[in-house]
Structure formats: C-alpha cells, structure tokens
C-alpha cells in the first residue's frame, strides 16, 4: 500500500489546528455533549468510521459524549421487504403495532449495534441501549393520528451518567416505554436527543443532519442565532418544513438548560470536531442569551 507523505506545510497546519484547539479543550473539560447522529452518513461505512473516531477523540480529551441516533432509511428498507406500507403525517411516520416492532428491531438492534461496533473499532468503549432500558425515556402518544409515536414526559438519565463516568460512551436508540401498559413508542431522533440533553443539563447538543444549517431569507446559513431570532424566522416562514422540528427541539433543549445547540451538516468530515474545537465552528448555533454556569460532572 502506498503511504501518503506529509509535507512540512501539512505538519504546520496540523500544529496550528492543535494550538487553536487548546482553549476549547480546556473549556469543554468534563462537559456533557449530546450528539444526534442521522442522515445519509449512517449508511456510509467511511462516514460511520469517521464519526466514531470523532466521538472517541471527544472522550479521550475529557468530554462526555452521549450519542443518540436515528435510522429512517434502514427502517424504510425493512418495511419495504416485509410489505408493510409507511404513511407520513406532517413529516412523521404513522406507526402501528406492526411498524413499531420493525422500528424497535432496526433501531435497537441493527443500527445501534453498528454504531457501537464502529466506536469500539476506533478504540473507544461503548454500550448500546434504548430509551426503554432502565426507563430512560417514558412517553405518551404524541398524536392519536400517528399511532405509536411518542413524546417524552419522564426522563431517567442516571443510567447515562453511570456509563459515561465509567469511561463508556452511551449509544441510545430512540425507542421508549409508554406510560400505560408498557407500550413501545417510536420517538423522533431529534426529539429524543433534545430530551436527553435537557435532562442531563448538557453543555452542548449537536444535531447532525443533511443540511448546512438554518438559512436566512437570502438563502445563506446563519451561523449564530438567539431563541428570539428563531421564533421570528419561523413566524415569517423563513424557517419551514423539516427545519421546524429541529429548531423546536433546539428551543426546548435551551429552555431546559442546555447551553447551546448547533444544527450542522454531518456529511462534512469531522463536522462535530470543527464545531467544538475551532474558531470557525460549523453550522448554525442557537444559544440562550441568559447567562449559565457550566455544570461540573461529579466523580466517584
């Protein structure tokens, strides 16, 4: 195999990036960062491996990453194979009994364990769980028209703290327990990530998606926004379609104590690291205008 030779300029650029990252590494020491992983990157082995390396690096430098994932394309593929038709209402999958069984099988099984394996292959320690484990997420029906689509109403995140304080990266499938009769609910991945970030009082929530970020009326990505600006852009119709659930998740997470939420393009190599550890950042960051004391993680 031909080895790539680094030039002196390559080495200088690497050293510059490491130097630039130092204050951010110090700032995020012991910080909890919830990362929602989804979109087309999940179906690409190279992108999956790169994402896993980024997550392992976060853990190695002192952060506590918690991964929450989706899996819509894989669910669609399996439903098609089984001859189960999918319907969507307002962008959400109508989920009957047969569909929720497939959702749980794909998310808690195939997708979850694939991400766990990728993290371990990158040198990290990871454990895959779903929102049903230890009653992490307890839901009620989001909308009767949608069937078994859940909205989190109770969060029990101690299991996540136990894992990340033990040096293990939690990987969470967005499947949850119901309030009554132990039903199983399918939970939107962004919604689940926001609920987990809020319950953990996370320092950051990163929503990796297939778009560059929140775009203004001129079509350009807005790199920094306040909650009030998000509400105004939504009222004006500038924020529309699939971006609305993501910005709603961001606003709710901030209301619950998350310091900042970033919506960014997960297709960009090392997008999460660029956002956390460089001056340039990535995507659109939504930050509360209210001051917040950085939470410290209790050890031992």
Q: Which domains does the chain have, with CATH numbers?
A: 29-287 (3.40.1160.10)
Name the helix (H) or strand (E) containing 18: helix 8-27
96-155 pLDDT tens trace? 889 999 999 999 999 999 999 999 999 999 999 999 999 999 999 988 888 899 999 999
46-78 pLDDT tens trace? 889 999 999 999 999 899 999 999 888 888 889
What percent of the chain clears pLDDT 70, i.e. is strictly above it? Answer: 84
Task: Specify whether the CB–CB gap between 284 and 222 falls below 8 A.
Answer: yes
Sheet order of strands, 169-173 included: 126-130, 169-173, 64-69, 32-37, 204-209, 260-265, 284-287, 224-225
250-283 pLDDT tens trace? 999 999 999 999 999 888 888 888 888 877 778 8
Give the pLDDT confidence score for residue 298 in this predicted structure: 39
275-297 pLDDT tens trace? 888 777 788 999 887 655 444 44
pLDDT, average across residues 175-184: 88
DSSP string, 253-269: HHHTT-SEEEEEETTST
**Burial bucket for residue 16 (CB in 10 Å: 0-12, 13-18, 19+):** exposed
Task: Specify whether the CB–CB gap between 25 and 62 falls below 8 A.
Answer: yes
Task: Specify whether the CB–CB gap between 286 and 268 falls below 8 A.
Answer: no
Give the pLDDT confidence score for residue 295 in this predicted structure: 45
Report d(CA 60, CA 42) in Å as an integer: 23
């Amino acid at each position: 195999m031909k080895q790539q030779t680094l030039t002196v300029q390559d080495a200088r650029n690497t050293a510059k990036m490491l130097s630039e990252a130092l204050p951010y590494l110090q700032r995020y020491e012991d910080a909890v960062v919830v990362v929602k992983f989804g979109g087309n990157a999940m179906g690409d082995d190279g992108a999956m491996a790169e994402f896993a390396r980024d997550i392992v690096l976060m853990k190695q430098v002192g952060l506590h990453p918690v991964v929450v994932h989706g899996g819509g394309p894989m669910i669609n593929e399996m439903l098609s194979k089984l001859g189960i038709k999918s319907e969507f209402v307002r962008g959400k999958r109508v989920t009957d009994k047969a569909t929720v069984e497939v959702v749980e099988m794909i998310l808690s099984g195939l997708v979850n364990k694939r991400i766990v394996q990728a993290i371990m292959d990158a040198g990290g320690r990871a454990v895959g769980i779903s929102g049903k484990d230890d009653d992490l997420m307890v839901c009620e029906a989001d909308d009767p028209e949608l069937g078994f689509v859940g909205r989190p109403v109770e969060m029990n995140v101690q299991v996540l703290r136990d894992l990340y304080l033990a040096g293990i990266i939690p990987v969470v499938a967005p499947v949850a327990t119901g309030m009554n009769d132990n039903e199983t609910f399918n939970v939107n991945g962004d919604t689940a990530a926001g609920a987990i970030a809020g319950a953990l009082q996370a320092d950051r929530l990163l929503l990796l998606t297939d778009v560059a970020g929140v775009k203004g009326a001129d079509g350009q990505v807005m790199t920094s926004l306040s909650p009030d600006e998000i509400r105004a852009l939504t009222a004006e119709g500038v924020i529309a379609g699939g971006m609305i659930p993501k910005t709603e998740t961001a606003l709710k997470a901030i209301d619950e104590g998350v310091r900042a939420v970033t919506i960014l393009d997960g297709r960009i190599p090392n997008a999460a690291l660029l956002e956390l550890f460089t001056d340039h950042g990535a995507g659109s960051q939504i930050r509360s205008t209210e001051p917040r004391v950085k939470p410290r993680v209790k050890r031992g």
